Amino acid sequence: MNKDLVLLVDDEKTLVKALTFNLEKENFRVEQAYDGEEALQKVFTLAPDIVVLDLMLPGLDGFEVCRRIRKKLDVPIIMLTARSEDIDKVLGLELGADDYLTKPFNARELVARIKAILRRSVVRNESTKKLIQIGDLQVDLLQHRVRLREQEISLTSKEFALLSFLVANAGNVYSREQLLEQVWGYDYYGDVRTVDVHIRHLREKLERDPGNPDYILTVWGTGYKIREDR
Assign residue 81 the CATH number of its domain: 3.40.50.2300
| C-alpha span between 82 and 215 (Å, rounded) | 38
CA atoms within 13 A on the CB side of 3: 1
Does a structural domain hold residue 186? yes
| C-alpha span between 150 and 106 (Å, rounded) | 46
**CATH, residue 221:** 1.10.10.10
Based on the domain organization, do 62 and 144 belong to the same domain? no
Q: What does the pLDDT look like over 190-215, one tens digit per residue? A: 677 889 999 999 999 999 999 999 99
Does a structural domain hold residue 125? no
User: Where among 119, 142, 172 does a domain terminate?
Assistant: 119
Q: What does the pLDDT look like over 122-151, one tens digit per residue? A: 334 344 457 888 889 998 877 788 999 889
Query: In terms of pTM, does the model score above 0.75?
Result: no
Given this model, what pLDDT does residue 86 score?
A: 67
Residue 70 lies in domain: 5-119
Based on the domain organization, do 144 and 102 belong to the same domain? no
Based on the domain organization, do 84 and 167 belong to the same domain? no
Does a structural domain hold residue 126? no
Alpha carbon dihedral 214, 225, 185, 28, in 10-degree steps, equals -20
Based on the domain organization, do 105 and 143 belong to the same domain? no
Based on the domain organization, do 81 and 153 belong to the same domain? no
Alpha carbon dihedral 211, 213, 216, 219, in 10-degree steps, equals 70
Given this model, what pLDDT does residue 142 score?
A: 73
Based on the domain organization, do 163 and 110 belong to the same domain? no
Q: Residue 45 — very low, low, confident or very high, per pLDDT cuts 50/70/90?
A: confident
Is it the case that residue 93 has pLDDT exceeding 90?
no
For residue 58, say if its preceding peptide bond is cis, omega within 30 degrees of 0.
Answer: no
